[in-house]
Chain A
Amino acid sequence: MPLAIETTNLTRRFGTVTAVSGLNLGVRAGEIFGFLGPNGAGKTTTIRMLCGLLLPSEGTACVAGMDVTREAEAIKRRVGYMPQRFSLYGDLTAEENLDFFAGVYRLSGRTRRTRVAETLEQVGLLDRRRAVTDHLSGGLKQRLSLACALVHSPAILFLDEPTAGADPLSRQQMWDLLYQVAAEGRTILVTTHYVEEAERCQTIVFMHGGRLIGEGSPEQCRAEMGEIVLEVDAVPVMRAGEVARATPGVSGVSVYGHTLRVFSQTAGDLERDLEAALTGRDILVRGIRPVPPSLEDVFMSLTRTARDVERGA
């Protein structure tokens, strides 16, 4: 399958800060490609470079076969961009906003009218088309924003946190829409810091501190995680966490409700060592068992490793 987006050593510096560092990406046409990473990981900067809004400091990127440095304006015709921050005209109606952006993308006459109506229908805003945008709920604003990025039928969509701050139902609706859009053959590059959203992508990359720290399908990522995960059910859970962290061989611990997830790079006798350490500290251990890692575990594990590497360097 041809690559919709390809970057080689893509780097962007702001003064002395390197926001994106040596990024190599390959996004296949027609897939939903997820960018996962904490705030400040360089996701938005990457998207802005790929949309032709920001020049790379180093490296190259090709979007829809065109170079972002030399052919930015041509790329803009072929891609849709939904910025992280809501960026439509609050004083215009939903339909007026959509019509405006349709015109800006050079649709005219009947084509424009048809596309505006179709897109409103697609995102479920047909009955609210005359509502002033400022008066729409957060979820509806996000769908209208998606509509504006979609109205000119772009081959590639860049969505920067399309569900930020949305309630679970709105998020579900947004993702249903994204699957529909992907089914039309469009490539979607989406950033998120919700791990459960990353599960819905065909390929995900993990970013941290401007670098790519992991890549693959959600299944691959879980399978290739370099650490094992033990689920520990112990009381009191917070004390148990402290003890586990101090146990040799343990590389990280996260607390989930009443259980701990303990990460380790060495399999071996960790289960027994851990139980001994906990019981020795008067902690009631109700169960210890190895569990398959979740994507969140992968994310935590990769982030920790990346931090250790940074510290070591």
Chain B
Amino acid sequence: MSMFAVIGHVARKEIRQILRDRRSLVLILVMPIVLTFLFGKALETGELRNIPSAILNLDGSPESNVIATAFSTYDEVQIQREVSTLDQAQALLAHGQIKAAIIIPKGFMRQIESGEEAQLQLLLDGTDNNSAPIVEGVAQRVIQRYNTERAIKGLWARGVRPDRGLRLIRPVYVQSEIRYNPGRQYLSYVMPGVIGLTLQLLTVMLMAITIPRERERGTLDQLMASPITRTELILGKLLPYFGISLLNVATILFVADRWFGIPVATQLFPLLLLCGLFVLTSLATGLLISAVSRTQFQAVQIAVFYVLPVFMLSGAYAPIEAIPDYIRPISYLFPLMYFSRAVRAVTLRGADLVQIWQDVAVLGGFVVVLLYWAVLSFHKRVT
């Protein structure tokens, strides 16, 4: 038999064993769907709109009322309460019922009228470092608008018509427009990472235990005494799990499309290519772990030590630019980093193959190197 026939032969045996272990099979097929759904749902709350806030209007003047009303015109904040003392505001913040308290101090209007410097105060919940800067930004915009309007009114009182007044003041506004993820939804950013993590978790674990399992059951002795080559055994084991992983890719992409607004249908080809390459890198990583582990327990241990840092360091969760310089090089060792970067480019920016070819090439390189390494790490001799 040729090498390919032997690989197919080993693969058929693996498939038989997989199909005979019904409970594991159900787990293998259902777990990715459940995980993608749960991870996705858990991270969906990261969307930053309607940040619960309260207003403490200690001045109660017409001017302070203008400010208070201005806040409610922004989607980012939601004024849920109007409180009357600082203690109340602090209590709400401490209990997590609001993320921000907007405080207009007593004498606000008087200070403005008398030309003193007037202040608007914000109490922010620093434990939520996503919403704090957003409320701050809203406050800046509210104040800028208020200042401009006041200046125009002031000029009008001196006989300058508002349109002329506006030209005199020449206010500068920052007009920013966010491309590629207009709602700036955290979910759209993180979903490619979630897909990658789910795909990786299962494939690495499944693959990692295959060789130690044969070793523990003694069947590896019989195999090592046979003329099967290392490549035949490794690729024969890889093939069926690659098939299962492709099924998982299909279900995960379906979940991502159906519930998490990832445009899978329009980008099917690049997404399938990236997912296919990525599961191959994970399977190869699993095989490498498998080849160097003596026992299944050891294999799972190593797999966990691999999967966890990947989660934190690969930019699946947060941009790798947020990782300190001296740690960041590690991020480039994980295929997940290239995968989530490329998938993000495809789903958020609508990038085509030409634009992501570098990441595709790196993933392909990982597959070759890891598989070769796995084959070399597996020895047909006992020690």
Contacts and interface: CB of A to CB of B under 8 A. Distances in A.
Nearest to B21: A91
A54 interface: yes
Contact of B221 (A76, A85, A91, A101): A85
Q: Chain A's interface: helix, strand, loop or mixed, by majority?
A: loop
A92 B223 CA distance: 15
Contacts of B222: 81, 83, 87-88, 101, 148
Contacts of B301: none
B5 interface: yes
Contacts of B167: none
Given A54-B382, A55-B381, A76-B227, A100 B13 contact: yes
Interface residues of A, number: 31
A89 B221 contact: no
B17 interface: yes
Which of B224, B382, B383: most chain A CB closer than 10 A?
B224
A76 B217 contact: no
Given A76-B227, A108-B5, A85 B17 contact: no
Nearest to B9: A103
Interface size class of B (residues with CB under 8 A): 20 to 34
A237 B383 CA distance: 48
A61 to B, nearest CB: 14
A105 B17 contact: no
Interface in B190-227: 217-227
A52 B225 contact: yes
A53 B9 contact: no
B226 A86 contact: no
Nearest to A103: B9
A89 B225 contact: no
Nearest to A145: B222
Given A87-B219, A108-B1, A92 B16 contact: yes
A76 B225 contact: yes
Contacts of B13: 89, 92, 96, 100
Contacts of A73: 227, 229, 380
Which of B6, B17, B219, B228: most chain A CB closer than 10 A?
B219
B20 interface: yes
Interface in A85-123: 85-92, 96, 100-101, 103-108
B224 A53 contact: yes
B16 A86 contact: no
A79 B227 CA distance: 10
Given A53-B381, A106-B6, A88 B226 contact: no
B221 A53 contact: yes
Contacts of A55: 381
A189 to B, nearest CB: 13
A105 B218 contact: no
Contacts of B16: 92, 96
Which of B9, B16, B20, B222: most chain A CB closer than 10 A?
B222
Nearest to B383: A54
A89 B9 contact: no
Contacts of B20: 91-92
A147 B367 CA distance: 38
Contacts of B228: 104
A13 to B, nearest CB: 12
Interface string B1-30: 100011001100100110011000000000
Contacts of B21: 91
A48 interface: yes
Contact of A83 (B6, B218, B227, B381): B218
Which of A90, A91, A103, A108: most chain B CB closer than 10 A?
A103
B382 A92 contact: no
B330 to A, nearest CB: 36
A100 B9 contact: yes
Contacts of A48: 382
Interface string A42-55: 00000010011111
A197 to B, nearest CB: 22
A96 B20 CA distance: 13
A146 B1 CA distance: 23
A7 B1 CA distance: 32
Contacts of A200: none
Contact of B17 (A51, A91, A106): A91
Nearest to B218: A87
B14 to A, nearest CB: 10
B227 A106 contact: yes
A129 interface: no
A72 B379 CA distance: 13
Interface string A33-63: 0000000000000001001111100000000
A92 B240 CA distance: 17
A72 B229 CA distance: 12
Contacts of B218: 83, 85-87
B1 A87 contact: no
Given A53-B381, A87-B217, A104 B223 contact: yes
Which of A81, A86, A106, A107: most chain B CB closer than 10 A?
A106
B219 A104 contact: no
Given A54-B381, A83-B222, A108-B1, 15 more contacts: A52-B225, A53-B225, A53-B381, A55-B381, A73-B227, A87-B217, A88-B222, A89-B217, A92-B16, A96-B13, A100-B13, A104-B227, A105-B226, A105-B227, A106-B1
A-B pairs, 5 with minimum CB distance: A87-B218, A103-B9, A81-B225, A108-B1, A77-B227
23 contacts: A48-B382, A53-B224, A53-B380, A72-B381, A73-B227, A76-B227, A77-B227, A79-B225, A81-B225, A83-B221, A85-B218, A85-B221, A87-B219, A89-B17, A92-B17, A100-B13, A101-B226, A103-B6, A103-B9, A104-B10, A104-B226, A108-B1, A148-B222
Interface of A: 48, 51-55, 72-73, 76-77, 79, 81, 83, 85-92, 96, 100-101, 103-108, 148
